Amino acid sequence: MKETIICPKCHSDQLSANQKGFDGNQATIGMLTGGALAGVALGMHDSGKIQITCLKCGNKFVPGGGAVKTVDDAGNQSIDYMEPPVDTNRRNSFIVAFILIAVLLVLAIILMNNPFAFL
C-alpha cells in the first residue's frame, strides 16, 4: 500500500513546503488602521509557519489540510481529504490586535481633546 500527499484541489503530487515570510498586505492594513507598530505586528503575524503550495495549480494549504491518495497492491486508488487543523492562536491574535487598536484609538481621541490629560 502506497500513500501520497496530494493537492486537495487538483490532486497533483507536485508540492512545495515553505515557511511564510513577512506579509506586506497585512502590514499595509495594520499601518492604515493602527500606525506603524500595528503594521509591523500584523505583517509579522504567521511568519515562520509552514505553508504547502501546489506547483501545478498554485493552491496553498497548511500541513494537515491536504488530501492523501492511497493505492493498494491491487492498484485500487482512494483519496481521503483531511480537515485543516483549527488555529486558535491566529484567532486569539486577531482579537488581541483589535483590542490594542481600539485602545490606541481611544487614547488618541482623548489626547486630541485634551493634550494634557495624562500629565
Q: Is residue 94 assigned to a domain?
A: no
pLDDT in tens, the chain (119 residues): 888 888 889 989 899 888 776 666 767 776 677 666 666 666 666 666 788 889 999 888 888 878 888 888 888 888 888 877 666 666 677 777 788 888 888 888 888 888 776 66
Q: Is residue 69 assigned to a domain?
A: yes
**Domain count for the chain:** 1
pLDDT of residue 56: 94
Q: Is residue 90 assigned to a domain?
A: no
Q: Is residue 75 assigned to a domain?
A: yes
pLDDT of residue 49: 76
Q: Is residue 106 assigned to a domain?
A: no
Range of the domain at 65: 2-85
Q: Is residue 117 assigned to a domain?
A: no
Q: Is residue 23 assigned to a domain?
A: yes
Q: Which residues touch 23 (CB under 8 Å, ≥6 apart)? A: 42, 43, 45, 46, 47
Cut 0.75: pTM above it: no
pLDDT of residue 87: 61
The grid coordinates listed for 68 are 492523501
Nearest to 107, CA basis, from 34, 36, 41: 34
Q: Is residue 92 assigned to a domain?
A: no
pLDDT of residue 57: 92
CB atoms under 10 Å from CB of 42, counted, come to: 23
